[in-house]
Chain A
Amino acid sequence: GQNIDQPTEMTATEGAIVQINCTYQTSGFNGLFWYQQHAGEAPTFLSYNVLDGLEEKGRFSSFLSRSKGYSYLLLKELQMKDSASYLCAVSLWGGGNKLTFGTGTQLKVEL
């Protein structure tokens, strides 16, 4: 089966940097997605990694190590509006493009 682990909750300060980790144990790994979800709203696409390394998009960056089954999402210059749940999701070869999600990391940004 597949197993995806993320911390349940994290707290950080406005203006700081936070790293949200995701580890996975799957067979047939294809790629990894990060989504942001505010309470009561739709998940919003943040990033997609298929190769090892760092992908940077403005204040958000995502890293992948396929050999270690590990990814992280890095958020810089935190803003209050970044308080949300961050979802790590894995796609598998032959999985018909369906995504397997972790339970999400609830990030709280404080003053």
Chain B
Amino acid sequence: NAGVMQNPRHLVRRRGQEARLRCSPMKGHSHVYWYRQLPEEGLKFMVYLQKENIIDESGMPKERFSAEFPKEGPSILRIQQVVRGDSAAYFCASSPRDRGLQETQYFGPGTRLLVL
């Protein structure tokens, strides 16, 4: 009974490189959320996706960041041309199919990105 899976758990990149973070939701979950946690700060919402659709990307920086959740495979958060300020823990959460009610979000173990 796997929970939310994220990989890699740790990622080191040099400034200017690309970072690609993957998230596989819990079985039966079709909603994926990405959050960022900076040191000494709370979790901040980035983007909410369903299969093949971005529902809410109001928390995503306008440049360099993108997310997708294809019909097959994991959700991907991509950060192009990383800068030191992108160093953070990136958490993915998933919830079941929306029935019009608030569904509990279950979190993955996170990817800790370090930009050198």
Residues of A near any B CB (own CB < 8 A) = 4, 30-31, 33, 35, 41-45, 48, 50, 87, 89, 91, 95-104
Known: A42-B91, A44-B107, A91-B102. A104 touches B42 (CB 8 A): yes
Bound-complex Cα distance A95 to B56 (A): 8
Residues of B near any A CB (own CB < 8 A) = 4, 31, 33, 35, 40-45, 48, 55-56, 58-59, 91, 95, 98, 102-110
Starting from the known contacts A43-B107, A96-B48, 19 additional A-B residue pairs (CB-CB under 8 Å) come to A4-B42, A41-B110, A42-B107, A43-B91, A44-B107, A48-B104, A50-B102, A96-B56, A97-B31, A97-B103, A97-B105, A98-B33, A98-B45, A99-B105, A100-B45, A101-B35, A101-B43, A103-B42, A104-B42
Q: Is the CB of A98 within 8 A of B102?
A: no
Q: Is the CB of B91 within 8 A of A103?
A: no
Interface of A is mostly: strand
Q: Is the CB of B48 within 8 A of A87?
A: no
Q: Is the CB of A31 within 8 A of B48?
A: no
Bound-complex Cα distance A47 to B41 (A): 22
Q: Is the CB of A41 within 8 A of B102?
A: no
